């Protein structure tokens, strides 16, 4: 469905944007692939890997999602938007709340307005497990963003722009994640951990991109797609990445949960379960499930929640080492 389409990725020079670009260029033939981001250095570095001279469809567009006028210009003639731009570091958002709101909430509003005004066909926004029952500002801004994108389907009116959300957990090895940090700290002999009980959902960058592409194909508007992915205890992750290091417990950071939830119990009442994912249906229905490819989904039972501590899929120490290509150092 991406062939002969004009696609724009906000935050396109980030970890997701670069992997999305790699996979789309390898597998599809878009009319244009526009990398929209505010960092000229990262765009310059990315253009060395994917130069316009070699990839005729690629374009680099400097801009910020906070700038509505720039988005209006950038989305002219665009068919599909993948919204990946965000401030996502939990401590940074706690200490800079206004900046987080400007990017994650106001930026979402600007993307929605520009997409509707420019007649974009489909918009899919990247969310996070921290948006489900949030306790930190990052999660709260992303929950607000999720709500905005879901209800933008009513806002779009006759223009028929459709919006959906993809929500997944921690990305293994992404920029700013704990895996690169632990790999760096191996030289010190000590890795800091916050709580021995802590668990998280994990997904690879390639799996995340593939799930977004799949969700673009199956969306009708208003859905929140949640992939079925494994959990892992942080102490086991440290054993996998830095097996010879001392684990030193330092206490939870501001706004940090012991376990993450991707489908809260209250949302589960309108959630369908499929083999590969959960689909949280919008509270105000924008489509009839009998007329969509969402048939076959099984309603979640009363009291269900999709949490990292009660997950049925777990990533082992050996499995993570294989995923990262690390030798067994035990």
pLDDT at 325: 77
pLDDT at 287: 74
Distance CA 34, CA 78 (A): 9
Is the model's pLDDT at 200 over the cut of 70? yes
Is the model's pLDDT at 226 over the cut of 80? yes
Is the model's pLDDT at 174 over the cut of 80? no
Is the model's pLDDT at 114 over the cut of 90? yes
pLDDT at 157: 74
Q: How confident is the model at residue 255 (pLDDT cuts 50, 70, 90)?
A: confident
CB under 8 Å to 303, separation ≥6 — which residues? Answer: 265, 268
Q: Across residues 31-50, what is the average pLDDT? A: 97
pLDDT at 172: 84
Catalytic residue among 130, 142, 147, 228: 130
Please answer whether residues 110 and 64 qualify as being in contact, where contact means their C-beta atoms are separated by less than 8 angstroms.
no
- As a whole number of Å, the end-to-end CA separation of the chain is 46
Among 203-207, 230-234, 239-243, whose mean pLDDT is lowest? 239-243
pLDDT tens column, 59-80: 999 999 999 999 999 999 999 9
Percent of the chain at pLDDT > 70 equals 97
CB under 8 Å to 53, separation ≥6 — which residues? Answer: none
Does the active-site annotation cover 305? no
Q: CB burial class (10 A; 0-12, 13-18, 19+) of residue 312? A: exposed
Is the model's pLDDT at 291 over the cut of 80? no
Q: What tokens does 117 get?
A: 């005004």
pLDDT at 194: 86
Q: Across residues 190-198, what is the average pLDDT? A: 90
Among 94-98, 99-103, 156-160, whose mean pLDDT is lowest? 156-160
Is the model's pLDDT at 324 over the cut of 70? yes
pLDDT at 91: 87
pLDDT at 330: 53
Q: Across residues 246-263, what is the average pLDDT? A: 87
- Quote the Cα angle for 295-301-304, to 5°: 115
pLDDT at 129: 93
Q: How confident is the model at residue 21 (pLDDT cuts 50, 70, 90)?
A: very high
pLDDT at 328: 66
Domains and their CATH numbers in the chain? 6-168+203-228+265-306 (3.40.50.720)
Q: What tokens does 160 get?
A: 């028929």
């Amino acid at each position: 469905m991406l062939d002969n389409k004009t696609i724009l990725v906000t935050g396109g020079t980030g970890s997701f944007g670069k992997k999305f670009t790699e996979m789309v260029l390898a597998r599809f033939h878009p009319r244009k692939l526009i990398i929209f981001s505010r960092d000229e250095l990262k765009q310059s570095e990315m253009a060395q890997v994917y130069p316009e001279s070699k990839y005729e469809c690629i374009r680099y567009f400097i801009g910020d999602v906070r700038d509505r006028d720039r988005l209006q210009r950038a989305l002219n003639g665009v068919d599909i938007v993948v919204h990946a731009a965000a401030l996502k570091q939990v401590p940074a958002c706690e200490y800079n709340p206004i900046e987080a709101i400007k990017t994650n909430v106001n930026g979402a509003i600007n993307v929605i307005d520009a997409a509707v005004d420019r007649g974009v066909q489909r918009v899919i926004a990247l969310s996070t497990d921290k948006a489900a029952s949030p306790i930190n500002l990052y999660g709260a801004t992303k929950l607000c963003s999720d709500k905005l994108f879901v209800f933008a389907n009513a806002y779009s009116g006759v223009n028929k722009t459709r919006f959906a959300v993809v929500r997944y957990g921690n990305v293994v090895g992404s920029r700013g994640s704990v895996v690169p940090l632990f790999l760096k700290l191996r030289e010190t002999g000590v890795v800091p951990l916050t709580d021995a009980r802590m668990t998280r959902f994990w997904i690879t960058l390639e799996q995340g991109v593939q799930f977004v592409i799949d969700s673009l194909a199956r969306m009708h508007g208003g859905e929140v797609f949640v992939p079925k992915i494994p959990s892992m205890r942080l102490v086991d992750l440290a054993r996998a990445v830095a097996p010879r290091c001392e684990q030193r417990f330092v206490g939870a950071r501001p706004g940090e949960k012991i376990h993450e939830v991707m489908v809260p119990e209250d949302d589960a009442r309108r959630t369908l379960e499929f083999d590969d994912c959960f689909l949280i249906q919008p509270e105000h229905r924008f489509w009839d499930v009998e007329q969509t490819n969402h048939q076959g989904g099984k309603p979640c039972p009363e009291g269900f929640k999709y949490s990292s501590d009660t997950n049925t899929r777990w990533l082992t120490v050996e499995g993570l080492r294989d995923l990262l290509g690390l030798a067994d150092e035990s």
